[in-house]
Amino acid sequence: MLAPLVGTRLFYPASAPIARYDVLVLAALALQAGLIALKLEHWDEALVILVFHLAGTGMELFKTAHGSWVYPEPCLLRIGGVPLFSGFTYASVGSYIARAWRMFDFRFAAYPPAWAAWTLAILSYLNFFADHYRIDGRWGLFALAAVLFGRSWVQLLMMLSFVLVSLIRRPTPPDPARAAQPLPAPPGAAEAGLQTLS
């Protein structure tokens, strides 16, 4: 979604017969259809993405109605002052989360109880709306998130650190006779691996 946003901002002609925001909606629909057709996303993931789209559009309707920002360009595909492509920007976050969750098989250590995570999520969404009424609890929410998730660990990070450590190599020696010999591990690689396992 980022490529169409930036690409149309830089290169889309102002005199085009279709408004840029409407082109972004069409591009987002084509991207979503392509992801499903190529089986890069599953239908259950598409449902998660739809929820992100609807929630994002609702939040945009609220924020634009309260004057937080405007979408100045004309378009046909809109609800109130919100062009439909804006929901797809939220949906692209949902798409990334759903796909990454499936591909990387996230596992969490020391994850807080579900009720606590849900409470934080609900309070965060309420704060999104309440800040227009002089109630801004973001610092308290940051503190609560630190308390709840301060000990949490996503095991994906461990796997990533293993990959990064394994990629650290010395340059191949220029001597062809030595090129066939295995290279020694770089200094610190074993220690980094042990620290990660710890």
Q: What is the pLDDT of residue 176?
A: 47
DSSP H/E element including 83: strand 82-83
Domain ranges across the chain: 1-104, 156-197
Q: What is the pLDDT of residues 53-109, one digit of tens each?
A: 999 899 899 989 988 889 999 999 999 999 999 998 888 887 777 777 777 777 788
What pTM was computed for the model? Answer: 0.68
Q: What is the pLDDT of residues 92-151, one digit of tens each?
A: 887 777 777 777 777 788 889 999 999 998 998 888 888 788 788 888 998 998 899 888
Q: What is the pLDDT of residue 164?
A: 58
- Residue 98 makes CB contacts below 8 A (sequence gap 6+) with 41, 45, 48, 49
Longest dimension (CA), the chain: 74
Using the 8-state DSSP alphabet, how is residue 152 labeled? -
Beta strand 153-154 with 82-83 is unpaired
Percent of all residues in the chain with a pLDDT value above 90, rounded to a whole number: 37
